[in-house]
Structure 1
């Protein structure tokens, strides 16, 4: 079995490349989807995050409010690093199980889509690693379109 790494910055076109693999019946394990799954209400990841960040990060239905948690961790490097350390074992385990299920189904090539592959040291498990790159101007335009933002100048 070969595990191919797929990485790239925000709005670089990684989803487009990922969809090309899927269109050719090559499965993609998306680390972002795994991370969302481990934060579902009642899971081990959910319990750790609620214990660490409090009930204030929950929606009325008890699920983690992603944007609210994002505001907390993206405005504070220490809290972001703490969250990453807290969830890393759950994400790694979730990725492992997804790959195992695909391997058991007989897939010979699996793409592992991890946005921060090198930072998370996931690149050591993949060969080759495909890096999706786009020039900064195009990247900013795509991000602003995606999030419906305006660039503030001055």
Structure 2
């Protein structure tokens, strides 16, 4: 098994592409879902967030008010770093658990849906399209939308660092075809073999150890 990091800028259409991979039966670890899970009341990250940002970031039922907290951290980089320091360790733990589950199920690759993969490979959508989608989706002003986009790396920088690029600036049908073709290439890849072979070698070593122990200990029983 190998890992495929799926990322993109705000409102670049990443969620729509992810649905295509899910429809194809791919193993997906959604970091946004995990991030919402680890800050629920009763979890360590929830308590630490309240301690750091105050009760004003809470809804009446005790859940984190994501809009209020989001407004705070996007305008203040130091507070964004503080939130990351609280939540990222808990998110990584859950990511490892889910990834290991898929490894045991025999998947060739696992998609890690990580919006800030390069800040912490890439869907292409031009800046104007990003801003328009974000303003429509979240009801933001142009100023607020620009502030959120600027909090991430520019898309052109992410494209340069990516191994595979899905151009999501055209018709949806074209984007979907790109995602399907990428899935076919990933399924044919042999990148999963090194890990599988190393695990098999490890299991063979453990089996040999138990055999030797049984061989020398059983006669004395």
Which of the pair is proportionally richer in strand? 1
Give matches, 1:32-111, under 5 Å.
32-111=32-111
Q: Spell out, residue by residue over 1:27-49, the C-alpha distance to the aligned partner (whole angstroms, 9 max, x if none).
A: 21111111100001110111111
Task: Give how far 1:115 is off.
Answer: 0.7
Q: Spell out, residue by residue over 1:53-81, the C-alpha distance to the aligned partner (whole angstroms, 9 max, x if none).
A: 12221111111111111122112111111
Which of the pair is proportionally richer in helix? 2
- Give every structure 1 segment of 4 or more consecutive aligned residues whose post-TM-superposition deviation is greater than 3 Å: 148-152
Task: Give how far 1:112 is off.
Answer: 0.3
Which structure has more relative contact order (CA 8 Å, sep 6+)? It is 1
Number of equivalences: 143
Equivalent residue number for residue 137 of structure 1: 128
Greater Rg, structure 1 or structure 2? 2
Q: CA–CA distance in 1 between the matches of 2:33 and 2:113?
A: 10
2:7 partner SS: strand
Q: CA–CA distance in 1 between the matches of 2:108 and 2:61?
A: 40
Confirm or deny that 1:29 pairs with 2:20. Answer: no
Equivalent residue number for residue 147 of structure 2: none
Q: Spell out, residue by residue over 1:70-98, the C-alpha distance to the aligned partner (whole angstroms, 9 max, x if none).
A: 12211211111111112111111111111
Q: CA–CA distance in 1 between the matches of 2:141 and 2:66?
A: 22
Distance of aligned partners of 1:101 and 1:12 in 2 relative to their CA distance in 1, 3 Å threshold: same
Q: CA–CA distance in 2 between the matches of 1:150 and 1:45?
A: 30
